[in-house]
Chain A
Amino acid sequence: MATKPPCFDEMLNEDGTPRAAYAAYHKWFTEQDSTHLKQKARDAEEFFRRTGITFAVYGDDEAEERLIPFDIIPRIVTARQWTKLSRGIEQRVRAINAFLQDIYHRQEIVRAGRLPIDLLVKNEAFVSQMIGFTPPGGVYTHIVGIDLVRTGPDEFMVLEDNARTPSGVSYMLENRETMMNMFPELFSTIRVRNVSDYPKNLRASLSRVAPPACTGDPVVAVLTPGIHNSAYFEHAFLADQMGAELVEGHDIRIVNGRVAMRTTRGYQPIDVLYRRLDDDYLDPLIFKPDSVLGIPGVFDLYRAGKITIANAPGTGIADDKAIYSYMPDIVEFYTGEKPILKNVDTWRCSEPDSLAYVLDHLSELVVKEVHGSGGYGMLIGPAASKKELAAFTAKLKAKPANYIAQPTLALSTIPIFANSGLAPRHVDLRPFVLVSPDKIDITPGGLTRVALRKGSLVVNSSQGGGTKDSWVIEDD
């Protein structure tokens, strides 16, 4: 790698003293015996193994189920920082919902010349069947995850929005459970904001967007692609915690004009479907005709007010990487305010000048596929070989509109507890947001993902990343 930019460490100042947020934790940490902590780290792993908190890696038959590596050193954010972050997140999520409402109706943003029409209508994530339809309660993205990165004391930026089916919230919850199990004394001395209400809030939030056909207490179900999906544990976990049924396509049938699940007492209508399935697979009559995971006909019933689908179909356009670079404009257009959270500078390779710049500076940039996710199909210039750079140059020239590029950020680090002691590693943060008609609820903290390899910037669990518990602590 070329010259490495200096990174901001969230725990330690340059002189090795702890930053304010970490003062109490650091004091506790230095009083611990490292053999004892090593044992605790092993206990934590055993805890995850025993409780079966695993994920599946695609294309990896041998180790179909893996543990996400968990690091015992928490990510700590102060209440003051969090207040600012959550204001920024709320603003962004409001804008995303207003944007979705607009693009599926009058498309004022296009009329105003703030967004090229091609980015909508030629976008695979744009679901034309949503045009003219308003989902129950006007909510499009019931569950959102906003990926934040940090480059300095007050420099938080949005790296990515997740408006389809963001995952990872079960790790946020289980990481906290594990930490409270391992280190109860920390939680009695440091006031950490609680996260455990998330499943209850999720259920309440989904219940508030029941469809017109719902009479009485809304019946909520979680739709999973099945046991082989990488996030199956999370689907089962959330259904269990919410007291909802976990259904697959073959448990469901349309009965008397309602989407109904086969129970031991017969078919029971579902009011709100929290689907953890991509748009493409949701309804074979509308999308992929060969999908066996979805429910034929569900879309028509959705439009007829017989069921609520969360998140709404077509929300993916809001987290599309091509749209991402317009997010500052989108926030301003719909909220009338300056964005509180910044975007990462982004070059749209569809624009000839930008493409030329990107090709010239490829070895310094991160290039992402517009429709990719999970860290697949991405180039990290500074870490790439000559051969990889050449291959990507060819790809960029062939299909420039498929790519965006961003500067290689000096992502903040937080130490992990390695064999040799504390070792700084790059992190990001995904707070989870629940949207209902009358409120936006952000769980304090979120999921901290950490690149376990020294110097690596890739935090995705599919690429060997790990997680940390994330604390928002009360200011003294």
Chain B
Amino acid sequence: MLGKTASGIFWMFRYLERAENIARLIETGHRFTLTRNRGRQDEWRSILSALGMDAAYRANHEEYNAAQVVDYLLRDKANPGNLRNLIDSARQNARTTRTAITRELWEAVNECWICVNDALKRQVREAELPATIDLIERQTAQVRGALENTMLRNDGYNFSRVGNFIERADSMARLLDVKYYVLLPSVSFVGSSLDNIQWETILRSTSAYSAYRWLYPGRASALGIADFLILDRRFPRSLAFCYGKLTDNLRHLAMSYGVQSDSLTEAERIYAGFASMTAASILEDGLHEFLVDFLTQNRRLAAMVEQEYRFNS
């Protein structure tokens, strides 16, 4: 496989994962707007921060108005990382990697692009927002379905998974970092209703709301949530889960290529680290510091993969 092709598939799934995260954050933000009277502006602001877009947003917006933020995230030309551009980039990558992906996968990405482009031609009115988010989520789910059901479990598949989980881990860590103060056990309003809203928001925006309730009915605690989102290997968006998958996929790559892989060693090291941690120890040592450190390591791993498999040179 060409290095460029590996890179194309890797990034295609990073873009798709990122687009899904944006859709989910918008969904959560919108729900927050509908159910709470206070803190709406802060909520949109923290969503922008979690996506690393807050500063750029503020450069040409006065306030965190729901309609403006949603448009900014979905399709505003002033925002190069908008969802529409992400889907466009994913499809562009699919075009350039056409020789390494199945026809079904290509058609799913192409159709996703056609539908999302149609839906985002004009600013989305609030009345259409739930249906639009739903459409985006269904379309990207179809892309995943096509990948799972039709792709040979070869290097191309593994690169797609590595891209996917690096991106997922990155966005989970960013989101937690934006909200980390909510999870601090020392804050004064533990148990207050604002606290519960914040927890609920975190869980909803990571698709963890119902899963968490199954496991811990009626017991939302900072410790429980931190444990669930960072360390629970059963939850498919937790950092530990992502690294479990990353080690699997990087191991498959190293084995099929018959090489000593530094990126595999690094992923295994990070993954093993989770086993020796507890939520309590993470909170005790500082959640923010933990997350900042994790984000750096995650970025470094991505760079190692890029270099090891000659994505660019």
Q: Are B2 and A52 in contact (CB under 8 A)?
A: no
With the chains together, A240 CA to B4 CA distance in Å? 15
Q: Are A50 and B111 in contact (CB under 8 A)?
A: yes
Contacts of A248 in B (CB 8 A): 4
Interface size class of B (residues with CB under 8 A): 20 to 34
Contacts of A239 in B (CB 8 A): 98-99
Q: Are B98 and A240 in contact (CB under 8 A)?
A: yes
Is residue B106 within 8 Å, beta carbon to beta carbon, of the partner chain?
yes
Q: Are B92 and A264 in contact (CB under 8 A)?
A: no
With the chains together, A240 CA to B111 CA distance in Å? 20
Q: Are B1 and A264 in contact (CB under 8 A)?
A: yes
Q: Given A227-B92, A263-B310, are A50 and B2 also a contact pair (CB < 8 Å)?
A: no
Q: Mark B130-155, 1 if CB is under 8 A from A, else 0.
A: 00000000000000000000000001
Q: Are A264 and B99 in contact (CB under 8 A)?
A: no
Q: Are A262 and B2 in contact (CB under 8 A)?
A: yes
A445: min CB distance to chain B, Å: 23
Q: Mark A85-117, 1 if CB is under 8 A from B, else 0.
A: 000000000000000000000000000000000
Q: Mark B94-116, 1 if CB is under 8 A from A, else 0.
A: 01101100010011001100100
Q: How many residues of A contact B (CB 8 A)?
A: 23
Contacts of A247 in B (CB 8 A): 2
Q: Are A227 and B2 in contact (CB under 8 A)?
A: no
With the chains together, A298 CA to B111 CA distance in Å? 39
Is residue B309 within 8 Å, beta carbon to beta carbon, of the partner chain?
yes
Is residue B257 within 8 Å, beta carbon to beta carbon, of the partner chain?
yes
Q: Are B3 and A51 in contact (CB under 8 A)?
A: no
Contacts of A50 in B (CB 8 A): 107, 110-111, 114
Q: Given A236-B99, A246-B98, A247-B2, are A264 and B309 also a contact pair (CB < 8 Å)?
A: yes
Q: Mark A398-435, 1 if CB is under 8 A from B, else 0.
A: 00000000000000000000000000000000000000
Q: Are A251 and B99 in contact (CB under 8 A)?
A: no
Contacts of A227 in B (CB 8 A): 92, 95-96
Q: Are B3 and A264 in contact (CB under 8 A)?
A: yes
B207: min CB distance to chain A, Å: 29
Contacts of A51 in B (CB 8 A): 103, 106-107, 110
Is residue A49 within 8 Å, beta carbon to beta carbon, of the partner chain?
yes
Q: Which residues of chain A (255-300) have a CB below 8 Å from chain B?
A: 261-266
Q: Are B2 and A244 in contact (CB under 8 A)?
A: no
Q: Which residues of chain B (219-257) have a CB below 8 Å from chain A?
A: 257
With the chains together, A39 CA to B2 CA distance in Å? 42
**In the complex, residue of chain A having the shortest beta-carbon distance to the beta carbon of B312:** A262
Is residue B47 within 8 Å, beta carbon to beta carbon, of the partner chain?
no
Q: Are A245 and B2 in contact (CB under 8 A)?
A: yes
Is residue A232 within 8 Å, beta carbon to beta carbon, of the partner chain?
yes
Q: Mark A221-262, 1 if CB is under 8 A from B, else 0.
A: 000000100001000110110001111101100000000011
Q: Which residues of chain A (42-62) have a CB below 8 Å from chain B?
A: 49-52
Contacts of A232 in B (CB 8 A): 95
Is residue B16 within 8 Å, beta carbon to beta carbon, of the partner chain?
no
With the chains together, A240 CA to B99 CA distance in Å? 4
Contacts of A266 in B (CB 8 A): 310
Contacts of A237 in B (CB 8 A): 98
With the chains together, A369 CA to B166 CA distance in Å? 55
**In the complex, residue of chain B having the shortest beta-carbon distance to the beta carbon of A252:** B2
Q: Are A52 and B106 in contact (CB under 8 A)?
A: yes
Chain A residues touching B, majority SS? mixed
Q: Are A264 and B98 in contact (CB under 8 A)?
A: no
Q: Which of A52, A236, A244, A247 has the most CB of B within 10 A?
A: A52
Is residue B6 within 8 Å, beta carbon to beta carbon, of the partner chain?
yes
Partner of A246, one of B6, B99, B107, B313: B99
Contacts of B6 in A (CB 8 A): 264
Q: Are A264 and B95 in contact (CB under 8 A)?
A: no
Q: Which of B2, B92, B96 has the most CB of A within 10 A?
A: B2
A240: min CB distance to chain B, Å: 5
**In the complex, residue of chain B having the shortest beta-carbon distance to the beta carbon of A235:** B98
With the chains together, A264 CA to B106 CA distance in Å? 21
With the chains together, A261 CA to B103 CA distance in Å? 24
Contacts of A236 in B (CB 8 A): 95-96, 98-99
**In the complex, residue of chain B having the shortest beta-carbon distance to the beta carbon of A242:** B99
Q: Are B110 and A263 in contact (CB under 8 A)?
A: no
**In the complex, residue of chain A having the shortest beta-carbon distance to the beta carbon of B113:** A52
Contacts of A263 in B (CB 8 A): 1-3, 310
Q: Are A52 and B110 in contact (CB under 8 A)?
A: yes
Q: Are B3 and A251 in contact (CB under 8 A)?
A: yes
Contacts of B309 in A (CB 8 A): 264
Q: Are B4 and A262 in contact (CB under 8 A)?
A: yes
With the chains together, A248 CA to B4 CA distance in Å? 10
B70: min CB distance to chain A, Å: 26
With the chains together, A240 CA to B95 CA distance in Å? 11
Contacts of B96 in A (CB 8 A): 227, 236, 246
**In the complex, residue of chain A having the shortest beta-carbon distance to the beta carbon of B95:** A227
With the chains together, A246 CA to B101 CA distance in Å? 13
**In the complex, residue of chain B having the shortest beta-carbon distance to the beta carbon of A236:** B98
**In the complex, residue of chain A having the shortest beta-carbon distance to the beta carbon of B92:** A227
Partner of B257, one of A52, A250, A265: A265
Q: Which residues of chain B (78-129) have a CB below 8 Å from chain A?
A: 92, 95-96, 98-99, 103, 106-107, 110-111, 114
B104: min CB distance to chain A, Å: 11
Q: Mark B1-19, 1 if CB is under 8 A from A, else 0.
A: 1111110000000000000
B26: min CB distance to chain A, Å: 27
A360: min CB distance to chain B, Å: 51
Contacts of B103 in A (CB 8 A): 51
Contacts of B4 in A (CB 8 A): 248, 250-251, 262
A304: min CB distance to chain B, Å: 25
With the chains together, A265 CA to B98 CA distance in Å? 20
Q: Which of B4, B107, B114, B155 has the most CB of A within 10 A?
A: B4
With the chains together, A248 CA to B106 CA distance in Å? 20
Q: Mark A304-340, 1 if CB is under 8 A from B, else 0.
A: 0000000000000000000000000000000000000
Q: Are B110 and A264 in contact (CB under 8 A)?
A: no
Contacts of B257 in A (CB 8 A): 264-265
A36: min CB distance to chain B, Å: 25
Q: Are A244 and B106 in contact (CB under 8 A)?
A: no
Q: Which residues of chain B (1-45) have a CB below 8 Å from chain A?
A: 1-6
Contacts of B3 in A (CB 8 A): 251, 262-264
22 contacts between A and B (CB under 8 A): A49-B114, A50-B107, A50-B111, A51-B106, A51-B107, A227-B95, A227-B96, A236-B95, A236-B96, A236-B98, A237-B98, A245-B1, A245-B2, A246-B2, A246-B98, A251-B2, A262-B2, A262-B3, A263-B3, A264-B1, A264-B309, A265-B257
9 smallest CB-CB distances across A and B, nearest first, come from A236-B98, A264-B309, A240-B99, A52-B110, A262-B3, A239-B99, A264-B6, A264-B1, A246-B99
A residues whose Cβ falls under 8 Å from a Cβ of B: 49-52, 227, 232, 236-237, 239-240, 244-248, 250-251, 261-266
